[in-house]
Amino acid sequence: MDKPGIVITGASGRMGQMLMRTVLASDQARLVGAVVRPGSGWIGRDVGEAMGGAPVGVIATDDAVEAIAPAQAVIDFTTPEATLAFAELTAQARAVHVIGTTGFSDAQLVALKPAARHAPIIRAGNMSLGVNLLVGLTRKVAAALGEDWDIEVVEAHHNRKVDAPSGTALMLGEAAAEGRGTTLADLRTPAREGITGAREKGSIGFAAIRGGDVVGEHDVIFATAGERVVLRHLATDRAIFARGALRAAIWGQDKGPGEYDMADVLGL
Ligand SMILES: NC(=O)C1=CN([C@@H]2O[C@H](COP(=O)(O)OP(=O)(O)OC[C@H]3O[C@@H](n4cnc5c(N)ncnc54)[C@H](O)[C@@H]3O)[C@@H](O)[C@H]2O)C=CC1
Ligand SMILES: O=C(O)C1=N[C@H](C(=O)O)C[C@H](O)C1
């Protein structure tokens, strides 16, 4: 089979640039398109040059319809609104849609489902191997420790991040809830401020720190009288997310329509 042709959306963004570099460096995939936001200064420019290097023969465009039509996979780290529009176009192209975007509302997640009836969608709030391993560990520890162990998820990110809690924090919280035999919707504590009252037994809390250039840090804290267990993941390079996303795009090439996540891709 030919190397799959990959289109990157949000190409000028932090992850978009990392994804393009990763695809360009790969011998298993080809970069065939780069979609940027209408009005972007990148439109009409070679993306290699726009990133400060040599030309690579791919011109940035805001015409997502034309760019996505010939793709075998679209890797999309943008915004929930943009991702919903790209999902429709990617399904029409019968291409694999790898979604790294976070911050979806419940209604937006439901709105993604029709596209998955026509092509594979692989979505994860974190595409790194380490975090996806941590998700399994979190489920296991939560199952082993009873309700007298309080669970809190603490995350830190750079000062440009727009959503909280992070997609990763929500994955970890969901895994902890699964370990307790239920869902995060049942156990999630609303953000704390003011006179909150004592902690509700069995609940799962979240705290978000935003500052500087932190790539992404996550702690799952299990705390009880006299001791604490802390599971931690520290990301120091966005390349870990881009490598995971490219792996997902390649993995998805022989998969049927449906919704998948990184645990499927990694066989976890
Ligand atoms: N799942 C994972 O492993 C990871 C997920 N993320 C998520 O990826 C998303 C993007 O993160 P960053 O790259 O840091 O943000 P960013 O703000 O640097 O990049 C987003 C890009 O999307 C573009 N965009 C927005 N609307 C668009 C449209 N309609 N058409 C084309 N392009 C559009 C913006 O112009 C921007 O260039 C966030 O939701 C973040 O949480 C980030 C890192 C890892
Ligand atoms: O916005 C980011 O930067 C990141 N977003 C993802 C998230 O919301 O968890 C993954 C990673 O932590 C970086």
Q: Is the pTM of this model over 0.90?
A: yes
Q: Is 215 in the pocket of ligand 1 (CB under 6 A)?
A: no
Q: Are residues 95 and 160 in the same domain?
A: no
Q: Are residues 19 and 146 in the same domain?
A: no
**CATH number of 110's domain:** 3.40.50.720
Output the pLDDT for position 34: 98
| SS3 label, residue 136 | helix
Number of structural domains in the chain = 2
Output the pLDDT for position 1: 63
Distance from the CA of 233 to the center of ligand 1, in angstroms? 21
Q: Are residues 119 and 215 in the same domain?
A: no
Output the pLDDT for position 2: 87
d(CA 42, CA 11): 9
Q: Are residues 9 and 119 in the same domain?
A: yes
Of all protein residues, the one whose alpha carbon is nearest to atom 13 of ligand 2 is 216
d(CA 254, CA 120): 9
Q: Are residues 213 and 137 in the same domain?
A: yes
**CATH number of 145's domain:** 3.30.360.10
| SS3 label, residue 164 | coil
Q: Are residues 223 and 245 in the same domain?
A: no
Binding residues for NAD(+): 10-15, 100-102, 124-127
Q: Are residues 13 and 108 in the same domain?
A: yes
Q: Is the peptide bond before 38 cis (omega within 30 degrees of 0)?
A: no
Q: Are residues 78 and 113 in the same domain?
A: yes
Long-range own/partner contacts, residues 26-29 (CB < 8 A, 24 or more apart): 26/246, 27/3, 28/3, 28/4, 28/246, 28/250, 29/3, 29/4, 29/5, 29/73, 29/246, 29/249, 29/250
CA distances from 109 to 12, 87, 106, 166 (A): 25, 11, 5, 16
Of all protein residues, the one whose alpha carbon is nearest to atom 2 of ligand 2 is 161
ipTM of the complex: 0.99
Q: Are residues 56 and 113 in the same domain?
A: yes
Length of the chain counted residue by residue? 268
The one-digit pLDDT tens for each residue of the chain (268 residues) are: 689 999 999 999 999 999 999 999 999 999 999 999 999 999 999 999 999 999 999 999 999 999 999 999 999 999 999 999 999 999 999 999 999 999 999 999 999 999 999 999 999 999 999 999 999 999 999 999 999 999 999 999 999 999 999 999 999 999 999 999 999 999 999 899 999 999 999 999 999 999 999 999 999 999 999 999 999 999 999 999 999 999 999 999 999 999 999 999 999 9
Residue 165 sits in which domain range?
129-235
Q: Rg (Cα) of the chain, in Å, rounded?
A: 19
Q: Are residues 246 and 118 in the same domain?
A: yes
Q: Are residues 11 and 118 in the same domain?
A: yes
Q: Is 127 in the pocket of ligand 1 (CB under 6 A)?
A: yes
Spatial contact of 112 and 135, defined as CB atoms under 8 Å apart: no
Spatial contact of 141 and 133, defined as CB atoms under 8 Å apart: no
d(CA 184, CA 194): 23
Q: Are residues 136 and 209 in the same domain?
A: yes
Spatial contact of 84 and 107, defined as CB atoms under 8 Å apart: no
Task: Supply the residues annotated as catalytic.
Answer: 157, 161
